[in-house]
Amino acid sequence: MIRKFTLCYLLLLCSIVALARQSGKITGRVVDSNGGILEGVSIQVKGTTRGAYTNVKGEFEIAAEGEVTLMVTFLGYNTQEVKARPGNQVQLRLVPKNQDIDEVVVIGFGKQKKATTTGAINYVKAEELKDMPTASVTNALAGRLPGLISQQRTGLPGSDAALLYVRGFGTFNTAGQEPLVLVDGVERRFNDVDFNEVETISILKDASATAVFGVRGANGVILITTKRGVAGKPRVSMTVDNTLQFVTNLPQYLQSYDYATLYNEAYLNDGGDPNFMPFSQEALQKYKDHSDPYFYPDVNWHKEILKDYARQTQANVSISGGTSRARYFVAATYLDQDGLLKYGNYNEYNTNSTFKRYNFRSNVDLDVSPTLTVSMSLSGKHSRQTWPGNGHFFTDNPLGLIFWNMGRWAPTTAPVYNPNGSLGAFIEDNNIVGDVSRTGYSDNFRTDVEANIDVRHKMDYAIKGLSFRGKIVFDTYFYYTERRLKQYETFYYLRDPATGEPIYRATSKVETPIAFTSTGVNADKHVYGEAALDYSRTFDGKHAVTGLALFYADRLREAAAYPFSKLGWVGRVTYGYKSKYFGEFNMGYNGTENFAKGKRMGFFPSYSLAWILTEEPWMRPLSNWLGYTKIRFSRGKVGNSLIGNRRYLYLPDTWGNPGSAWNYRFGTSGTAVASAFELNLGNPDVTWETAWKNNLGLEFNLFNGITLNVDLFSEKRDNILLSRQDIPSLIGQTSLPPVNMGVMENKGYEIELKYDYKASKDLTFNIGGNYNFARNKILAMTEPQKPYPWMARTGKRYGERFGYIVEGFFNSQREVDEWHDQTTFGTVQPGDLKYRDMNGDSIINQFDIAPVGHPDVPEITYAISGGVKFKNWELQVQFQGVDNTTTFVNQLGGWDFYNSAKVQKHHLGRWTPETAATATYPRLTTSSTTAKNNYQPSSFWARDASFIRFKNLTIAYSLPKAWLQRLKMQRVRIYVNAANLYTWSKFDWFDPEIRSAAANLYPQMKNYNLGLNIIF
């Protein structure tokens, strides 16, 4: 019996030991594709309800019996299955379904993983912009980001940055339409930020993303993040670009023979005597055969003044690296932009329009302890912009007069050079060659120094997941301008009627030596500080909670002006459940001293929700083609405090005396006594604009390579600042106080589609594009009641063009007589434009003015890009386009003989009795003025400025790895790229992107570049 009991006991013990060996715990660690820790990853024993989540270190522990299959799932990553036994330590590396999901996105006052964002945010990496051969980052953004409108209106060196708008216009207040721009979290200019310093550029578009900026967030926010060092060996990168710049499109002016022929025709159209023609047949022949170039000149000012191309050179060197405790990124860049002007060999100095810039950046991160990190960022920029001495002083269009005269001065006026080499005299005794090369020069210097110190301290010892950070910023901006001017002499070339000998008659202009004339000096200082508490923690592997509480203060002093001050509090709370349900609340409580006490601060809340549908179990059957689907919605309130150039609108202006004409006179002698009267009135109730924004977004990842994002948005903005138009002048106050009475709405949508495909290890390609639409409507603007609805701006789009609707040309006097009365604009005759009678009273006047075109900023923008990589070769292309946009031309931009000016190629299509059936332009006149019929604002002058531009082409070759190993280099990349190669547009009078009715801006440029990048 005892033996049987002992035997049974031993058998039971062995069974227990064997069973124990099959039971126990499996441990492991989960990281992402870059080796980063993944917290909250779901680990489940397949076929059971047993599971666990990874902790803050990415580690997990799960009970199991025998060999089991573990299912590993996490938001945005491919599900993995792995077999394991108790006692095993499993090391897992998850692969993202979509590489973008794994990216960290920069948001307002923080960062988030793209998969967890609930707002409308798009970003682009600097790597995607590196192949744009432009001097300004702003120009490289065209077509790159959905919802971002980029419009480059000039190619002037140093002033060629594009205007940027986010989702069109939400206000008709022109002082506050552009987005807020932050560089490394601080409001700064970024036109001069170098490409090579940039890590990412993000745009925040909805209220969820911008509410934290409060009174500065209504127009969207652009965030630029510069590069920082990564632990590792020193990495040296050197890049050199050499670019040739050519004009995209200039006005096509006609030369002397065509000019004189058309002028004679215009003279007869104006009722001139055919016996006394302005240009005789002999003159026409000489203009045609160029047999007497001094008395019958044929001047092409574009050829005389502009070079065929200009050069641009850019060189950059950067060094980055560090240890686990100290990391650094240091970069220096030199940019040299030459201009198109021919300045000749007359001087020892350069009078061309040039721009030189030197950039330096140093970003250092130091881990003082495991819990304390100190970061120091220093940026320095120094630039010099030069233009001829007669360029406008401190204006946005310094060469406007030169380009104006190139369009104004007829080619028949005088020779550029007389036979003895002296300068010929043109209008007002001037000569454009002299204006460019012999008036001295203007030098404009700018030096920016920007410094940050950031501190981050982990406070897990107090509360797990809590951390503190602070920032102190000190920026200085120094501007110095000096003009060294001179005068040049010109001569009229004549012949002695008796002897035929040449006579050089001096003009009023006398040659003078160059002399120092004037200077301009300004210095700005910017101080900013912020302090914040961050909280981030995941509970039970399911509940992810983050929080932010931040305070900031900002002060900018511009020269001797009163400082601009802002301060505010920022709050954010986010919650995520099982990595598929997300909620976020943001708030900003901030303001500015520009408003009256009690109205300076405002509260701007927003909320947003998101749902990852593909994380639901019932969506798993679709996982073979639907890899990722997210729905997000946001609503919130934001503001805009940029409501005008005048400061302290709540205060009345001082009393003033506008001049002796307003003096009082008393007594019989009428002695004048200085008077005083009130200028602009103040409004103590003036405040910021308020915008309520809604956004619905859908994100898809299809067939393991296709990404589709769709956003629908709407905005209603009120409290728009304006000057009342509905108060009659009879009240005796011409300068009414500004009021917040404007209301406007803005709606639209954005679609982004991408496809990436890897055919083999040597061949990959990608294609993508975006299409964006934004349309606004003015709901209220205190407009006086109009007699007819088509005259009202209320209910129309901001910037919509108004004028007379053209019904064609009058082809006979009978048509003129039978048409509505157009004598409001003087004598009307065959060949003139005929206008629609909107109100049916048979009189064409101001009551017939109606919408005739789209706004000048496009409602529709789109882009298509693609690329192929085969082994060491790359090919990238981009096309960018705009639609629903109109440019209004007048004067030198399109009129014939305006102010005795030239005529252009499109004037050859003018109306004549013989060309009545095919004419594309009205009859010509020698004096085109706004008093005449054809030169009224009308649909004829509202030109369709939509276009498609071949924006970028890049062909690159990288040396094979075997060669690099021999050379001890990481990369050698040689590339050829081009920008603005070709433009398709119905409008060809000048470049359709330029917004100058007179076409007197420095032209847009197309760039061809050869570059080399070497990394050690």
Which pLDDT band holds residue 256 (cuts at 50, 70, 90)?
A: very high
Q: What pLDDT does 733 receive?
A: 66
Out of 502, 521, 540, pick the residue that ends a domain.
Answer: 521
Of 262 and 15, the one with more pLDDT:
262
Q: Check if the beta carbon of residue 298 is closer than 8 Å to that of residue 255.
A: yes
Is residue 303 packed enough to be buried (19+ CB in 10 Å), middle (13-18) or exposed (0-12)? exposed
Q: Which residues contact 170 (CB under 8 A, 6 or more apart)?
A: 177, 218, 219, 691, 715, 717, 744, 746, 776
- My answer on whether 170 and 136 are in the same domain is yes
Of 86-95, 178-187, 245-254, give the lowest mean pLDDT range.
Answer: 86-95
Q: What pLDDT does 877 receive?
A: 96
- My answer on whether 143 and 186 are in the same domain is yes
- CA–CA gap between residue 353 and residue 399 (Å, rounded): 8
Q: Which helix (H) or strand (E) holds 258?
A: helix 256-269
Which residue carries 């001829």 as its tokens? 388
Mean pLDDT within 320-334: 94
Q: What pLDDT does 76 receive?
A: 64
Q: Does any domain span residue 345?
A: yes
- My answer on whether 474 and 426 are in the same domain is yes
- CA–CA gap between residue 278 and residue 569 (Å, rounded): 73
Q: Residue count of the chain, please give it.
A: 1016
Can you give the CATH number for the domain in which 173 is found? 2.170.130.10
Q: Check if the beta carbon of residue 362 is closer than 8 Å to that of residue 330.
A: yes
Mean pLDDT within 511-532: 91
- My answer on whether 408 and 491 are in the same domain is yes
- CA–CA gap between residue 577 and residue 569 (Å, rounded): 27
Mean pLDDT within 717-738: 81
Q: Does any domain span residue 805?
A: no
Count: domains in the chain: 3
Degrees to nearest 5, angle at CA 900 with 899 and 905 = 105
Which residue carries 């002048």 as its tokens? 729
- CA–CA gap between residue 439 and residue 486 (Å, rounded): 5
The structure tokens listed for 361 are 């950046």
Q: Does any domain span residue 355?
A: yes
Asked if residue 73 has pLDDT above 90, the reply is no
Q: Does any domain span residue 87?
A: yes
Is residue 694 packed enough to be buried (19+ CB in 10 Å), middle (13-18) or exposed (0-12)? middle
Using CA atoms, how far residue 559 sits from 14, 518, 525, 562, 563, in Å, is: 90, 18, 8, 9, 9
pLDDT in tens, 806-841: 999 999 999 999 999 999 998 999 999 999 999 999
Which pLDDT band holds residue 13 (cuts at 50, 70, 90)?
A: very low
Of 7 and 233, the one with more pLDDT:
233
- CA–CA gap between residue 93 and residue 74 (Å, rounded): 11
- CA–CA gap between residue 169 and residue 720 (Å, rounded): 12
Mean pLDDT within 471-490: 93
Can you give the CATH number for the domain in which 40 is found? 2.60.40.1120
Nearest Cα to Cα of residue 537 among 572, 571, 575: 575
- My answer on whether 307 and 455 are in the same domain is yes
Is residue 271 packed enough to be buried (19+ CB in 10 Å), middle (13-18) or exposed (0-12)? exposed
pLDDT in tens, 535-576: 999 998 889 999 999 999 999 998 878 888 999 999 999 999
- My answer on whether 215 and 246 are in the same domain is no
Q: What pLDDT does 95 receive?
A: 75
Mean pLDDT within 777-781: 96
Q: Which residues contact 752 (CB under 8 A, 6 or more apart)?
A: 122, 146, 707, 708, 709, 710, 768, 769, 770
* Alpha helical stretches, state H, 148-255: 207-210
The structure tokens listed for 761 are 């290890």
Q: What pLDDT does 234 receive?
A: 93
- My answer on whether 334 and 469 are in the same domain is yes
Name the 3-class secondary structure at 645: coil
- My answer on whether 39 and 180 are in the same domain is no
Beta strands in 227-266 (DSSP E): 232-247
Amino acid at 825: F
Which DSSP state fits 495?
E
Q: Does any domain span residue 883?
A: no
- CA–CA gap between residue 160 and residue 165 (Å, rounded): 16
Out of 462, 487, 521, pick the residue that ends a domain.
Answer: 521
Of 812 and 5, the one with more pLDDT:
812
Asked if residue 17 has pLDDT above 50, the reply is no
pLDDT in tens, 871-904: 999 999 999 999 999 999 988 889 999 887 889 9
Of 290-294, 344-348, 708-712, give the lowest mean pLDDT range.
Answer: 344-348
pLDDT in tens, 909-951: 999 999 999 999 999 999 888 889 999 999 999 999 999 999 9
Mean pLDDT within 493-497: 88
- CA–CA gap between residue 54 and residue 91 (Å, rounded): 12
Q: Does any domain span residue 319?
A: yes
- My answer on whether 67 and 112 are in the same domain is no
Q: Check if the beta carbon of residue 435 is closer than 8 Å to that of residue 426.
A: no
Nearest Cα to Cα of residue 924 among 418, 328, 383, 268: 268
- My answer on whether 447 and 309 are in the same domain is yes
Q: What pLDDT does 36 receive?
A: 78
- CA–CA gap between residue 1016 and residue 1008 (Å, rounded): 27
Mean pLDDT of the chain: 89
Find the domain containing 438 and state its range: 240-255+298-521
What pTM value is reported for the model?
0.88
User: Hey, which residues does 693 pair with through a beta bridge?
Assistant: 636, 715
Which DSSP state fits 821?
B
Of 765 and 174, the one with more pLDDT:
765
Of 409 and 660, the one with more pLDDT:
409
Which pLDDT band holds residue 7 (cuts at 50, 70, 90)?
A: low
- My answer on whether 308 and 370 are in the same domain is yes
Of 92-101, 188-197, 780-789, give the lowest mean pLDDT range.
Answer: 92-101
Q: Does any domain span residue 379?
A: yes
Mean pLDDT within 176-181: 92
Cα 971 off chain centre by: 32
Asked if residue 680 has pLDDT above 90, the reply is no
Most distant pair of Cα atoms in the chain: their distance: 158
Asked if residue 717 has pLDDT above 60, the reply is yes
Asked if residue 508 has pLDDT above 80, the reply is yes
Is residue 837 packed enough to be buried (19+ CB in 10 Å), middle (13-18) or exposed (0-12)? buried
| Maximum average pLDDT range among 616-620, 725-729, 935-939 | 935-939
Phi-psi label, residue 118: left if phi above 0, alpha if psi -120 to 50, beta otherwise: alpha
- My answer on whether 109 and 89 are in the same domain is no
Q: Does any domain span residue 350?
A: yes
Out of 457, 488, 521, pick the residue that ends a domain.
Answer: 521
Asked if residue 454 has pLDDT above 50, the reply is yes
Name the 3-class secondary structure at 662: helix
Mean pLDDT within 343-351: 74
Mean pLDDT within 478-507: 90
- CA–CA gap between residue 535 and residue 966 (Å, rounded): 49
Mean pLDDT within 183-203: 92
Amino acid at 218: A
Tell me the DSSP string of 378-419: EEEEEEEEEEETTSPTT-S-TTHHHHHHHHHS-TTS--SB-T
Of 612 and 93, the one with more pLDDT:
612
Asked if residue 620 has pLDDT above 90, the reply is no
Using CA atoms, how far residue 377 sits from 340, 448, 452, 476, in Å, is: 37, 14, 5, 14
Using CA atoms, how far residue 73 sits from 96, 652, 735, in Å, is: 11, 65, 67
